[in-house]
Structure 1
């Protein structure tokens, strides 16, 4: 089995938790570490949340690195649920994980250079503002050679925004970083709201996570039950998306998704700062720079996430799977 060697760059965050736990449970994924950035919540809280999530997984071998405390240029903004700060112990139990000393940007640079040297480039799953990744690419452009792809949850095209009428939050929080990444020459995969809004998780799905997922399922049930992500007026039916987990699902089961090549970029100034565009028909004098994921098999994605989180409910004794769980 070919395993994806990945760094998860995140700003946990509720749906970040699902993506991280899904990756850590999956034998197809080798998580080299987490790089944490301010976004949904301030960096201190995001770092605490990342450590708690890794603790719940039981994966003490996965290091958590603190990164950028704010965006490159714009004034700082936080996510819809910034008031929650760090997850309470009632929502997500502490697991004894403490942050690594190495800065997240240095971790990305070192990992990419080592990957280039061995001829085994890494994937970066960018599920928060892309500040850490942009800093690595700005300071050390050679690291792009060690990056197989950057799979990013961010942007909105026909769906428009959810943080503002025109912008998805991860891009809105640091549009300058996003534009640097888009123009870096590294292969980019974009998972926009247009696609993530197609897969809605219901209360029954969250109950299934709780019933089958052990400590991981309990944590996700607590988070998604506490912070409602539904919007019937917008989605036309009950349920809410788990945006960030699509990046992990795309690596595991790409056949669940449909994609198209496009030129993608970001508006970095003015009233519509953070707006993302996708040129699917080559109207611009620029070559396509990204694979844009346009559609998802809703049932397949939901079942895959529940299946992987259910592995935490099976973790007891016996040999470890490649994902790190005792089964």
Structure 2
């Protein structure tokens, strides 16, 4: 089997951890590097969390790189209100890690170097704010030409936001709107986004998730500890179904057929609105007569997604 070469750029909170566990556990995946960016919490916590996940998965062979500690235009946005100060819900008993395992090279430089070494073969999986990738583009304007593709967790297509202050934007784009704007306009490889509305519409039953949480392998126990505490803390069990964010993006990167409905559009990012800064704007009627620059994934084969994700925790 020819493996899909991945670089994962993340702000490792709980859903990023799920995505990393999926990526490093699938037989069709070869994770070349994981790069860390501030977002859910500070980048130092992000690095620690990535190393924790790799420890549990016995994959400390994968190099981890520390990246940007602030957005291009910093306004102090984060998701500590949901993910906790440390990004994993501030729970105790998580694996101890050695930060000396971090690579010395900056994440943006590492992205450019690794993509250059595997030109045309690397899929960039972006599941946090896009700051590291924007800096990489400024250092290397040809990055998009060297990538195979980029799959992004981010943006919104109907104006539904998930920001604590009620702003009509998706979190990752809202954290660094300028970086998101750069990626949509300057990263010339094929782009696919999984929007916040798509997250809400592609759902999973609580019964299935509870079965996952009851798996007692080391990875299963770790996943249970970080996810269940969040669900309990925020009383999310009251909602009719569970939603996947970041793991779906990894699944799309590995198996494009998991996307059963999509739309190609020209999209940009609002940079100036008081209530809409960071919102992705899609020209659905092609009024600007621009070539599409992004594929919007709308519907997911949720049965395939469940099979892929369940396989992570069945293995020791």
TM-score normalized by the length of structure 2: 0.90
Q: CA RMSD in A?
A: 2.1
Shift of 1:231: 5.6
Whole-Å separation in 2 of the counterparts to 1:76 and 1:165? 15
Q: Which residue of 2 aligns with 1:51?
A: 51
Q: Deviations over 1:259-303 (max 9, x none)?
A: 111111111123121111122331223210011101112333223
Contact residue 53 and residue 92 of structure 1 kept, 8 A = no
Seen in structure 2, the aligned counterparts of structure 1 residues 54 and 85 have a Cα distance that, compared at 3 Å, is same
Seen in structure 2, the aligned counterparts of structure 1 residues 274 and 309 have a Cα distance that, compared at 3 Å, is same
Q: How many residues align?
A: 306
Whole-Å separation in 2 of the counterparts to 1:54 and 1:44? 16
Contact residue 114 and residue 146 of structure 1 kept, 8 A = no
Contact residue 11 and residue 40 of structure 2 kept, 8 A = yes
Q: Which residue of 2 aligns with 1:180?
A: 182
Seen in structure 2, the aligned counterparts of structure 1 residues 204 and 138 have a Cα distance that, compared at 3 Å, is same
Which deviates more, 244-253 or 86-95?
86-95
Shift of 1:46: 0.9
Which deviates more, 91-100 or 58-67?
91-100
Seen in structure 2, the aligned counterparts of structure 1 residues 287 and 295 have a Cα distance that, compared at 3 Å, is same
Whole-Å separation in 2 of the counterparts to 1:174 and 1:18? 23
Q: Which residue of 2 aligns with 1:250?
A: 252
Q: Which residue of 1 aligns with 2:64?
A: 64
Q: Which residue of 1 aligns with 2:39?
A: 39
Q: Unaligned regions of 5+ residues in structure 1, if any? A: 316-327
Q: Which residue of 1 aligns with 2:241?
A: 239
Q: Unaligned regions of 5+ residues in structure 2, if any? A: none
Q: Which residue of 2 aligns with 1:322?
A: none
Whole-Å separation in 2 of the counterparts to 1:90 and 1:218? 13
Whole-Å separation in 2 of the counterparts to 1:127 and 1:302? 19
Which deviates more, 249-258 or 57-66?
249-258
Task: Give runs of aligned pairs for residues 81-160 of structure 1, distance below 5 A.
Answer: 81-87=82-88, 90=92, 92-94=94-96, 98-116=101-119, 120-158=120-158, 160=160
Whole-Å separation in 1 of the counterparts to 2:17 and 2:148? 24
Whole-Å separation in 2 of the counterparts to 1:160 and 1:177? 20
The reply to whether residue 296 of structure 1 matches residue 297 of structure 2 is no
Seen in structure 2, the aligned counterparts of structure 1 residues 59 and 263 have a Cα distance that, compared at 3 Å, is same
Whole-Å separation in 2 of the counterparts to 1:230 and 1:183? 39
Contact residue 91 and residue 219 of structure 1 kept, 8 A = no
Q: Which residue of 2 aligns with 1:224?
A: 227
TM-score normalized by the length of structure 1: 0.87
Shift of 1:211: 3.5
Seen in structure 2, the aligned counterparts of structure 1 residues 43 and 142 have a Cα distance that, compared at 3 Å, is same
Shift of 1:307: 2.1
Q: Deviations over 1:209-246 (max 9, x none)?
A: 2333612211221122111277689xxx5233120001
